[in-house]
Amino acid sequence: MKFLLVLVLCTSAVFGLKKDDLGTGFPDEWYEEAADSAEDDGLSTIPHFMDADEDFAGYFGESEASAEAPMNILEVARKNGATIFVKAAILVGLKDELSNHNDITAFIPSNRAFARLPKLVYLYFLRHPDRLRALLKYHVVKGSFALADLVDDEAHDTLLHNLTVRYDEYKHTKDNRTTRVIQGAHVNCKKNDLKASNGYVHIIDDVILRFSLVDSYEVISKCPAFSTLYNGLVVAKLSDALKSGSLTVFAPTEKAFKRLPAGVWEKILQDPQQLTNVLDLHIVEGTHFARGFRNDDVLPTLNKADSVTITIRHDRRVENGLSRRHHKGEFEVLVNNAKIVSFDGVTTTGVIQAIDKVLLPPSILEEYNMVDLD
């Protein structure tokens, strides 16, 4: 629920959403049944506000029906089942732009991705079709790119006022697989590199709702939840490092610092080398989105002496006396012993993952006679 709130607040901030815009009382008839093509993946679905099963022949004319005619981006998306995006693009007046604009690449959410959106988000876009239009344009980047053409951890200009999205690849040596992510959204393993007459289509498994507007330093400096962290970064003269490049910050919240034994943080602040070692343990080079995490991943930090380990815990159910992972259950991600409490705070210089404990190097745990933080 906390993650949902953060997601809504981030979306609200970008689009200028006000509290009054979130009022209830919308008539039930505004909602239609979920699209038949939104396959069940064990996650809950909500009613769609768009009918994805509509006949599209009237929208595309004769060329769409011809097997020999090259298909544009919207036609390719429709053919591959992403009918909700296509219908939305038509409704907000993007048909001509996405059909005729040359050299573009569209990262198009599947119907299943739309089915997982919180109902509150649907309400918002129902009231603001201009912002739905902006959201769709944010899924399209300038330039025609097959996946092989994309460079890891590189930002690309979108059709939305030159705002950027970041592409990342995560290679997992244990199973010899690669996870591809665009602005935190997972690129579908099977439906990608779909050539269109005016570019490429890559189907993605999430709707992109995270916008890169400011750098990590500015986010941390202005967010009350990171006040103590910000103060430490200033004292250690590390704040400038967050203004450029590409970094992942595992950012302890105010509650995380309060979990430290009394006086420990104050002593660390008085020792410049200890302070730097502690803060460096929270910073990893590159952009690491939640979709790219795998259990037992080891990530090197700016503290060269120590790394952090990712642990993924799945919700489990007891069935017939045995503990089994439940396919509809929740999961949590740990960084060492700290839980990520808010995922994928995207910035222009990387990503912020908020955590509930301060990470401490073994040397400091030993010095202060701390086995671990519970």
pLDDT tens digits, one per residue of 60-76: 444 444 455 689 999 99
Q: How far apart are CA 134 and CA 115, in angstroms?
A: 19
Residue type, 28: D
| CATH numbers and ranges of domains, the chain | 2-204 (2.30.180.10), 216-367 (2.30.180.10)
CB 356 within 8 A of CB 338: yes
Q: Higher model confidence: residue 32 or residue 354? A: 354
**What pLDDT sits at residue 350?**
95
Report for 28-37, 59-68, 117-126, 342-351: range of highest mean pLDDT: 342-351
Q: How confident is the model at residue 372 (pLDDT cuts 50, 70, 90)?
A: low
pLDDT of 9-25, one tens digit each? Answer: 443 343 333 333 322 32
* Half-sphere exposure of residue 87: CA atoms within 13 angstroms, side-chain side: 17
- Model confidence at 299: pLDDT above 80: yes
Say if residue 6's pLDDT is above 60. Answer: no
What is the per-residue pLDDT for 71? 95
The predicted pLDDT at position 119 comes to 81
| Model confidence pLDDT, tens digit, residues 131-173 | 999 999 999 999 999 999 999 999 999 999 879 999 999 998 7
Which range (44-48, 139-143, 174-178, 185-189) has the least confidence? Answer: 44-48
Indicate the average pLDDT of the chain.
Answer: 81
| End-to-end CA separation in angstroms for the chain | 23
- pTM check: above 0.85: no
CB proximity list for 164: less than 8 A, separation 6 or greater: 155, 156, 157, 158, 212, 348
